[in-house]
Amino acid sequence: MSRDIYVVAEQRDGIIEKVSLELIGEARRLAAELGQDVYAVLIGDKIKDKAQSLIEDGADGVVVVEDPMLKEYVTEPYAKALTKVLQEQKPEIVLFGATSIGRDLAPRVAARLKTGLTADCTRLDIKVSSYIEYCKNNTTLDTSNMDPNDPDVLLKQTRPAFGGNVMATILCKKTKPQMATVRPGVMQRVERDKSRKGEIKEIKVDFVPADMNVTIREVVKATHKATDIIDAKYLISGGRGIGGPEFYDKIRELADLLGGDWSSSRANVDAGWAPKDRQVGQTGKTVRPELYMACGISGAIQHQAGMDQSECIIAINKNDTAAIFEIADLGIVGDVKVILPKLIDAVAKYKAAKGA
């Protein structure tokens, strides 16, 4: 019988990717509904010493696969290793980060296991069998053919469809494990607990030279990494209401004053005013900054899906009925092209007075 939720803990140069910790937090929430455990799968070379940190970050146990062939990510050996783990452990659910590695690895493993995969999810929920619902709700159902020890557990996998205009919820009813990739920044990690203990087990994979079907001649590491809006504590975002791409100079100026970063709505990205990696929303990135300032953004549901979990939302818009005001903690009705320069001056004067 399939059981437990497994998270593929992506690592690069021995550093666990943040999205993996977010997925462990989400897996903990889902597993609590099922009375099951959360396991992380850690694949690499000389990587076992990172297993305890995954337990401290919420995993109940870690499955480790170590081999010199796994030092750098290569599709075939990683797919072989993960497939063996999942065939032996038989998890109910498997989660990957929707990263370049996760998007490459997950579909190949799903094909080998002959199961389904939902890509780029923004929400996960559990749907259980009629028997469990009967127990919860005490409704009148025929439970004569239901086994209470083998509930039909379905992962409700929600993702944007049709360009972000529809949110589709997908079920994988006939095959196990149920597999999904999840966007970085969507889920919340749990607070680290250094007192947590858990099971660490190793699985050996019999690799052969043919498994390394590519030759890595050189690994070139970037000397400069572009900022990622997912990591920003303060985010100033511009929409169509800013009038043109030149006004992003003002948005960046305020972001710099606050020690934050800047972002954009989809409309401006589509118009070529801002690059794709700055887009917030269903078809962009999901962010949770301490402060999100929406400048000239109407607040369509697709945009809200990418930022409505921000701790504090400030909205500036000429239209007093704009949807963004419904979720804003502070709303300012007016022309952003007039208000933002005044706000920049006020912040600059405040910082000068404080000697910042």
pLDDT one-digit tens code per residue, 266-325: 999 999 999 999 999 988 899 999 999 999 999 998 899 899 989 999 999 999 999 999
Q: pLDDT exceeding 90 applies to what percent of the chain?
A: 75
Asked, colleague to colleague, whether 5-211 and 229-354 share their fold, the answer is yes
Fold category of 229-354 in CATH? Rossmann fold (3.40.50)
- The residue ranges of every structural domain in the chain are 5-211, 229-354
Which class would CATH give 5-211?
A: alpha beta
Q: What is the per-residue pLDDT across 191-228, written as a single tens digit (0 to 9) for each?
A: 999 999 999 999 999 999 999 988 888 888 765 455 68
The three-state DSSP-derived secondary structure of the chain is CCCCEEEEECEECCEECHHHHHHHHHHHHHHHHHCCCEEEEEEECCCHHHHHHHHHCCCCEEEEEECHHHCCCCHHHHHHHHHHHHHHHCCCEEEEECCHHHHHHHHHHHHHHCCCEEEEECEEEEECCHHHHHHHHCCCCCCCCCCCCCCCCEEEEEEEECCCCEEEEECCCCCCCEEEEECCCCCCCCCCCCCCCCEEEECCCCCCHHHCCCCCCCCCCCCCCCCCHHHCCEEEEECHHHCCHHHHHHHHHHHHHHCCEEEECHHHHHCCCCCHHHEECCCCECCCCCEEEEECCCCCHHHHCCCCCCCEEEEEECCCCCHHHHCCCEEEECCHHHHHHHHHHHHHHHHHHHCC
> 11-32, pLDDT tens digit by residue?
998 999 999 999 999 999 999 9
